[in-house]
Amino acid sequence: MNFGERIPAIYGWGSYIPIYRIKLDDIAKAWGEDPVVVKKGLEVEEISVKGPDEDQVTIAINAAWNALKRAPEVNPKDIGAIYVGSESKPYAVKPTATIVAAAIGAPVTIRAADYEFACKAGTEALISVIAQVASGMIKYGLAIGADTSQSWPGDVLEYTASAGGSAFIIGPKSNSSVAYFEAQYSVATDTPDFWRRDEIKYPRHMGRFTGEPAYFKHITLAAKELMEREGFKPSDFDYFIPHQPNGTFPIRVALKLGFKIEQVKPGLLSPLVGNFYSGSSLTGLSRVLDIAKPGQRILLVSYGSGAGADAFSIVTQEAIEEKKKLAPTVDYYVNRKKYIDYATYLRFSNKIYGL
């Protein structure tokens, strides 16, 4: 893809996952379901739960602070745009992006807005920031994907919908950037696989319809579009990071596209922390950046119900090694945990007050 002189690149990356976890065993027990069957179908062991004093805003900001730690050369006053993607903003009207702006010391002259496209709202935010950097409209931009994912009590989504998010500081490629974008392609169609009506607290979905006609179709379309247009084969990539609604879909779509399990595993977090919705594939990317070597190529393909997919080809650079230790890694957050039971989970998720 021809970005011209200003090739968009990542300067800082950061994530945040709340400390609380609930085991799928305990959710299944609460609903009288067989944990063995549930876990086998989803390949997820436990999921993250937001604390009572956390929400999508606090997750977004903690992730942004971590991204800033990894980009010490970026002055927050030089950030020209902040976009946040989510489907669980605490305000239906009032953007998280401006609260983020206030919390990082961004200037008053800034573009800011929130994005929605189910689980690919975060990558949509990233696309806008990339475009504004490439076009010269901004010096640096901040893109965030974060969610405190919702699910109907007792629905199968309850086993995977979890809380977390990641943030990325983007600027023009240089010796200080850690990874640059080679290409970006997206697909979108009107597909009713998963949705949430206005004023309804929890999303609904069409069960098995969310598979082939939705997740698999769109990820495949976007991935193939990028690879064909840019002349890549699966073996040209070191990592493949698809959206992670559970522990099985990402592996299936990877294998279908011709990738190997070793390319998917490094970015696969859902078995241990669940599905962060807009934060999901972006946190997979964050984890891969935590461990990648310079000169490696990443294919990131997010998926959003409704439906669409965003594909990115990213190449890591030398500067990445020095930056890794400047902020807590995804593994740090994955491994720090406190287990809670289902009753506490209901209280923390604000589900106990009903519909």
Partner 1 sequence: MSVPKAPRIWQLAERRYRLIGTQCLKCGRVFIGPRKICPQCGGRELRDIELPKRGKIYSYTVVRNPPVEREKQGPYIVAIVELENGCKLTAEIVDCSPEEIDIGTVVEAVFRKIGEEDKTGVIYYGCKFRPVK
Binding stretches for partner 1 (CB under 8 A): 19, 51-55, 57-58, 61-62, 65, 90-91, 99, 102-105, 336, 338
Bridge-based pairing of strands 306-316 and 8-16 is: unpaired
Residues 178, 70: Cα–Cα separation, whole Å:
10
Q: How far is the CB of 157 from partner 1 (least distance, A)?
A: 23
Report the C-alpha gap between 350 and 303 in whole angstroms: 27
CB of 289 to partner 1, least distance (A): 22
Active-site entry in 119, 124, 182, 205: 119
321 assigned to active site: no
Active site residue 205: no
243 tagged catalytic: yes
User: Between 101 and 264, whose beta carbon lies closer to partner 1?
Assistant: 101
In the complex, the smallest distance separating the C-beta of residue 10 from partner 1, rounded to whole angstroms, is 22
Q: Exactly one of 46, 87, 124, 182 is catalytic; which is it? A: 87
Cβ atoms of 21 and 297 closer than 8 Å: no
CB of 14 to partner 1, least distance (A): 12
DSSP state string for 76-108: GGGEEEEEEE-S--S-SSS-HHHHHHHHHT--S
- Which residue, 90 or 136, has its beta carbon nearer to partner 1? 90
By C-beta, is 20 or 312 nearer to partner 1?
20
Please give the Cα distance from 319 to 332 (Å, whole number). Answer: 21
CB of 353 to partner 1, least distance (A): 9
Read off the tokens for 346: 């209901």
Nearer to partner 1, 19 or 38 (CB): 19
Residue 72 or 90 having the CB closest to partner 1: 90
* Greatest alpha-carbon span in the chain: 59
**130, HSE (Cβ side, Cα atoms, 13 Å):** 27
Tell me which of 124, 182, 218, 243 is the catalytic residue: 243
How far is Cα 180 from Cα 255, in angstroms, rounded to an integer?
26
Q: What residues are annotated to the active site?
A: 87, 119, 243
